[in-house]
Amino acid sequence: MSYDYESYNDPLTSAGNMEFSDKSVRMGFIRKVYLILMAQLVVTFGMVALFTLSSDVKNFVHATPALFYAALVGTFVCIIALSCCGNLRRRTPHNYIFLAIFTVCEGFVLGTAAASYTQNEILIAVGVTVVVTLSLTLFAFQTKIDFTGCGIFVFVSVIVLMLFGILAMIFRSQVLNLVYSCLGALLFCFYLVFDTQLMIGGRHKYALSPEEYVFAALTLYLDVVNIFMYILSIIGNSRS
3-state secondary structure of 54: coil
Question: Rounded distance, CA 52 to CA 185, Å?
Answer: 22
Of residues 77, 118, 120, the one with CA closest to residue 98: 77
pLDDT in tens, 59-96: 888 888 899 999 999 999 999 999 888 888 888 899 99
Output 26 or 218, whichever has higher pLDDT.
218
What pLDDT, on a 0 to 100 scale, did the predictor assign at position 7? 37
Cα-based torsion angle of the residue sequence 16, 19, 21, 23 in order, rounded to the nearest 10 degrees: -170
Q: What type of residue sits at position 96?
A: Y
Q: Tell me the β-bridge partners of 175.
A: none
Query: Domain limits of the chain?
Result: 22-237
So what's the pLDDT on residue 19? 53
Among the residue ranges 37-46, 165-174, 201-210, 231-240, the one predicted with the least confidence is 201-210
Q: Length of the chain, please?
A: 240
Extract long-range pairs of 47-55: CB within 8 Å, 24+ residues apart: 47/104, 47/107, 47/108, 47/110, 47/111, 48/107, 48/110, 48/111, 48/114, 48/122, 49/122, 50/111, 51/111, 51/112, 51/114, 51/115, 52/111, 52/114, 52/115, 52/117, 52/119, 52/122, 53/119
Query: What is the DSSP pairing of strand 12-14 with strand 206-208?
Result: antiparallel
Lowest mean pLDDT among 45-49, 111-115, 225-229: 111-115
Q: Are 110 and 227 in contact (CB under 8 A)?
A: no
The answer to whether residues 98 and 87 touch, using CB atoms and an 8 Å cutoff, is no
72 to each of 3, 81, 92, how far by Cα in Å? Answer: 36, 14, 25
3-state SS class at 120: helix
Confidence of residue 150 (pLDDT cuts 50, 70, 90): confident
Distance, first Cα to last Cα, the chain: 64
Cβ pair 148, 201 in contact under 8 A: no
The average pLDDT across 53-63 equals 87
Which residues lie closer than 8 Å to 99 by C-beta, 6 or more apart?
36, 40, 78, 82, 214, 217, 218
**How confident is the model at residue 202, as a pLDDT?**
56
Q: What is the pLDDT of residue 20?
A: 55
pLDDT in tens, 91-117: 889 999 999 999 999 999 999 998 888
Q: What is the pLDDT of residue 205?
A: 59
pTM above threshold 0.85: yes
pLDDT tens-digit map of 151-183: 888 889 999 999 998 988 888 888 899 999 999
Please give the pLDDT value at position 218: 94
pLDDT digits (tens, 9 = 90+) for 180-210: 999 999 999 999 999 998 888 655 556 677 7
Q: Which of 38-47, 127-136, 149-158 comes out lowest in average pLDDT?
A: 149-158
Convert the pLDDT of each residue in 17-32 to its tens digit.
445 556 788 888 899 9
> Three-class SS of residue 62?
helix
Nearest-angstrom CA–CA distance, 39 and 30: 14
